[in-house]
Amino acid sequence: MMTDRIITANWLQDGAVIWMTDSLGWSIDRSVAGIFSEARFEQARGQAVLDEQNNLVTAVYEIVIDGKAEMSMREQIRANQGPTVAPPSDSGPHTQMTARK
Amino acid sequence: MYVYDNIDRTFLADRSRQFRDQVARRLSGALREDEFKPLRLQNGLYLQLHAYMLRVAIPYGVLSGDQMRGLAGVARDFDRGFGHFTTRQNIQFNWIKLVDAPDILDRLAGFDMHAVQTSGNCIRNVTSDPLAGATPDEVEHAHGWSEIIRQWSTLHPEFAFLPRKFKIAVSAGAEDRAATGFHDIGLRIVKSRSGEVGFRVLVGGGQGRTPRVAQQLTPFLPKRNLLSYLEAIMRVYNAAGRRDNIYKARIKILVEAMGIDAFRDAVDAEWVTIRDSAVELPDRERDRILGHFARPTLGEPEIAEDKIRNQRETSRGFDRWMRHNILPHYDPGYANVTISLKQINRPPGDASAAEMEAIADLADTFGQGEIRVTYSQNLIIPHVKRSMLPELYKSLSTIGLGGGEDGLISDMICCPGLDYCNLANARSLPLADRIFEHFSDLGMRDEIGRLRLNISGCINACGHHHAADIGILGVNKKGVEHYQISLGGRAGEDAAVGSILGPSFTEDAVPAAIATLVDVYLHHRQRDENFAATVTRLGAAPFKRALYPNA
Amino acid sequence: MTATIPKTDDDLQLLEFESVQLAEIGAPCLHLTCGDEMPSPTVLKGCLAKGNAVIIDFPVFSDGRGFTLARQLRQSLPAPHPIVAAGHIIPDQADFLHRSGFSHAMINPLAFAAWQTALGMVSARFQHMPNSPRGR
């Protein structure tokens, strides 16, 4: 339906990206994000605002989804919890290479 | 470099404690988010695309080996084992937890580092010439004055809530390696005809939506009046800068609206009330700070040129490295070494914790224990004996950092883009990789020569695409990432904003488009003209025609 | 001895920065807001003569113009002339307000402890201000 929405935010404490679930809780897994239409959305939004006021979540917003549209690149990246390119990997604590001169 | 004393250390301890209290009050709800956000930003903590991002200040890009090791530890213990060096000579960590931030600030304070005013509507990290104190072309050591400005701007009570962010850069070289022309205030240390050293003050430069080259406020400001003059500028801006529209809130907008002459009059009217007052830096304090920035006493180096020549004949890698990564030093027996953080499959400017530790060791062993972060997101070890260059190259190669070239097409400045940033419209990192790949032939890179290619993932222009020979701006066209190409920007003493060549390209089409522009240059260049010079001589027309043949 | 500054509906009280105590001062002679121009020399002379407080109202705590206004006012109204910060201000600004020239802040008395804690939490003075000289 055209007015289907999902609700997303960040955990206040650690900044993790989260989505509101069907049971009006939060998950870091986008695949279990609740899809809210009209009346249910109002209820869900209300819960999100409450969670914000209770200092659990921050930066709440909704994403309108309709049948055909793919996730935007931005939302894909958020859902995948990481960049599309690999950062340099840490090979562990480096031991001193050369003696001090 | 500047060494903290008890006052500095007490400040960081106080500041940490203050932030810990603020975080606790935010988590309890005693502070609302809209009240907490500016406080959080003024300790460098952004809520970003994946998590909180912490921007740690590296004052004018200078840090010690120990500090680099300390940052590696933060990356490893609190983040994902790497950091990103920025165009403002800071470092960013991308997966920080708010609840960890107070501990991180404490850890940073333990090696005299912090995140004070690296974000927010306040005076940000002062940036400067990464070769200051090590270059033959400087009037004076720019870092001493950068430190003076840093301290003056730290927790300045009148300017903690400006209309918008404020960026100051200081340069003292004949070549402007600090992009002062694109800063809110640019300070160029100059010598008057009588031999007196002072500041040429520029104001109103910037990138972003409305890029502008800074205009001259005064050709010569005596050193002793630096702080009062800066305060006068800040006061005019604080009082009159727009607060109704964040896209019109920078000082460049105010200067343009008033006109430079009226702006200067307003500054002078404020200045006259505080000039030569207690606002100025006392001589004793000036000397105390500048005393940290004398040129180091360098040992007598052994004669190295035969050794280097032989090594260059033996090793192509070393030969290229000598050609592209060694910058001139005021002492002919020494060199300044660029460590390029630009490689295939490496986000430009990123380094792993292990790499940071290795570089720290190399700076201690081969340099003077000091590292500089450059405007182009590379690192420099200054003051290396030329006789030790072959060994340093070998050590760098062992850790995979012996390649890259300062200033060639592969030496891209690139913002983190949509892969990391909430503000971005498009990704920048995959494109950097693709361009890198397209120009992977070393001979081709050498043939092209010096070419500044910068990529920004959105109009905020953190990749400084306006100041590039070839600038690339990521945009979102109906949900698909597209890229606009501009030409003719310059970041140095002859700063200029580039101009867009035409309609945007898909990511797939960009590398070939860049190659087309390069071909036009190679075809038309005269003698040993570099790309910038050819663009200046020919203008954009032949490049436009080649890029859009059907237009 | 003197009339208190009229309290708002929130029943606010005056915090005096120097003594870190709740205080009372006389009726104001001037009520300014962030973004106002500096009053004329005549008006300021009148204020100075009467010794009455100037209030600067912050519509939002992040409107930094109030700090510059206070700093400029201090040039004509030297301490101990009362300059009062009012409106939306938060304890974390205490030092900034104080050092910019405010002598008092109109606060919610329930937040008195938070203001007390905030004041002097960061002791560094890296720049000269009229009522707080540089630490070095």
**Domain map (residue ranges) of chain A:** 5-79
| Residue C94 forms part of a structural domain | yes
Asked if the C-beta of B39 comes within 8 angstroms of chain C's C-beta atoms, the answer is yes
Shortest Cα–Cα distance, A64 to chain B (Å):
14
Q: Do B354 and A91 lie within an 8 Å CB cutoff? A: yes
Q: Which residues contact B101 (CB under 8 A, 6 or more apart)?
A: B19, B23, B43, B45, B52, B54
Q: What pLDDT is attached to residue A38?
A: 86
Neighbouring chains of A at 3+ CB pairs within 8 Å?
Answer: B
Residue B504 banded pLDDT, cuts 50, 70, 90: very high
| Residue C62 forms part of a structural domain | yes
Q: Do C124 and B14 lie within an 8 Å CB cutoff? A: yes
Buried b (16+ CB within 10 A) or exposed e, B248-259: bbbbbbbbbebe
Task: Summarize the confidence of residues A55-83 as an average pLDDT.
Answer: 88
Segments forming the whole domain that contains residue C29: 13-118
Q: What percentage of chain B exceeds 90 in pLDDT?
A: 98
Q: State the sign of the Cα–Cα–Cα–Cα dihedral C135, C54, C88, B160.
A: negative
Q: What pLDDT is attached to residue B147?
A: 98
Q: What pLDDT is attached to residue A39?
A: 86
Of A83, A89, A101, the CB nearest to B420: A83
Residue of chain A whose alpha carbon sits nearest to that of B423: A74
Residue A101 banded pLDDT, cuts 50, 70, 90: very low
Contact A15, B52 (CB under 8 A): yes
Residue A100 has pLDDT above 60, yes or no: no
Q: What is the pLDDT of residues B354-399, one digit of tens each?
A: 999 999 999 999 999 999 999 999 999 999 999 999 999 999 999 9
Shortest Cα–Cα distance, B399 to chain C (Å):
41
Mean pLDDT of chain B: 97
Chain C residues whose beta carbon lies within 8 Å of the beta carbon of residue B273: 75
Asked if the C-beta of B13 comes within 8 angstroms of chain C's C-beta atoms, the answer is no
Backbone torsions φ then ψ of C115, nearest 5 degrees: -65, -40
| Residue C42 forms part of a structural domain | yes
Q: What is the pLDDT of residues B279-288, one digit of tens each?
A: 999 999 999 9
Shortest Cα–Cα distance, C51 to chain B (Å):
23
**Dist CA A31 CA A54 (whole Å):** 25
Residue B20 has pLDDT above 90, yes or no: yes
Chain C residues whose beta carbon lies within 8 Å of the beta carbon of residue B239: 65, 68-69
**Dist CA B490 CA B182 (whole Å):** 10
Q: Do B97 and A74 lie within an 8 Å CB cutoff? A: no
| Residue C111 forms part of a structural domain | yes
Q: Give me the domains of chain B, ranges plus CATH numbers.
A: 6-110 (3.90.480.20), 142-291 (3.30.413.10), 307-398 (3.90.480.20), 413-547 (3.30.413.10)
Q: What is the pLDDT of residues B394-443, one digit of tens each?
A: 999 999 999 999 999 999 999 999 999 999 999 999 999 999 999 999 99
Tokens for C63? 């409107």
Q: Do A15 and B429 lie within an 8 Å CB cutoff? A: no
Q: What pLDDT is attached to residue A66?
A: 75
| Residue C109 forms part of a structural domain | yes
More confident residue, B262 or A93: B262
Residue C2 banded pLDDT, cuts 50, 70, 90: very low
Minimal CA–CA distance to B433: which of B319, B327, B510?
B510
Task: Summarize the confidence of residues B506-527 as an average pLDDT.
Answer: 97
Q: What pLDDT is attached to residue C26?
A: 80
| DSSP string across B429-466 | HHHHHHHHHHT--HHHHHHH-S--EEEESSTT-TT-GG
Of A17, A58, A88, the CB nearest to B352: A88
Residue of chain C whose alpha carbon sits nearest to that of B162: C64
Residue of chain B whose alpha carbon sits nearest to that of C95: B157
Q: What is each CA distance from C54 to B51, C26, C50, C87, in whole angstroms?
A: 44, 10, 11, 13
Shortest Cα–Cα distance, C126 to chain B (Å):
5
**Dist CA B224 CA B281 (whole Å):** 7
Chain B residues whose beta carbon lies within 8 Å of the beta carbon of residue C124: 7, 10-11, 14-15, 154-155
Residue of chain B whose alpha carbon sits nearest to that of A15: B51
Contact B79, B51 (CB under 8 A): no
Q: What pLDDT is attached to residue C4?
A: 46
Residue A24 banded pLDDT, cuts 50, 70, 90: very high
Q: What is the pLDDT of residues C17-34, one digit of tens each?
A: 999 999 988 889 999 999
Find the radius of gyration of the CA atoms of chain A: 19
Q: Do B97 and A13 lie within an 8 Å CB cutoff? A: yes
Residue A67 banded pLDDT, cuts 50, 70, 90: low
More confident residue, B17 or C51: B17
Residue found under tokens 């989804």: A65
Chain B residues whose beta carbon lies within 8 Å of the beta carbon of residue C135: 7
Q: What is the count of structural domains for chain C?
A: 1
Residue C1 banded pLDDT, cuts 50, 70, 90: very low
Task: Summarize the confidence of residues B444-455 as an average pLDDT.
Answer: 98
| Residue C35 forms part of a structural domain | yes
Of B49, B99, B350, the CB nearest to A87: B350
Looking at residue C107, which CATH number applies to its domain? 3.20.20
| Residue C28 forms part of a structural domain | yes
Side chain identity at B104, as an amino acid letter? I
Q: What pLDDT is attached to residue A91?
A: 86
| Residue C133 forms part of a structural domain | no
Residue B237 has pLDDT above 70, yes or no: yes
Which of B357, B377, B395 is the best residue to mutate to test the A interface, defined by the most A CB atoms within 10 Å of its own CB? B357
Of B14, B31, B282, the CB nearest to C122: B14
Task: Summarize the confidence of residues B125-146 as an average pLDDT.
Answer: 97
Residue B326 banded pLDDT, cuts 50, 70, 90: very high
| DSSP string across B354-386 | HHHHHHHHHHHHHSSSEEEE-TTS-EEEEEEEG
Q: Do A83 and B419 lie within an 8 Å CB cutoff? A: yes
Q: Do C122 and B156 lie within an 8 Å CB cutoff? A: no
Shortest Cα–Cα distance, B83 to chain A (Å):
9
Asked if the C-beta of B79 comes within 8 angstroms of chain A's C-beta atoms, the answer is no
Helix (H) or strand (E) holding B197: strand B197-203
Q: What is the pLDDT of residues B172-197, one digit of tens each?
A: 999 999 999 999 999 999 999 999 99
| Residues making up chain C, counted from first to last | 136
Residue B332 banded pLDDT, cuts 50, 70, 90: very high
Q: What pLDDT is attached to residue B184?
A: 98
Q: What is the ipTM of this complex?
A: 0.94
Mean pLDDT of chain C: 90
Residue C45 has pLDDT above 60, yes or no: yes
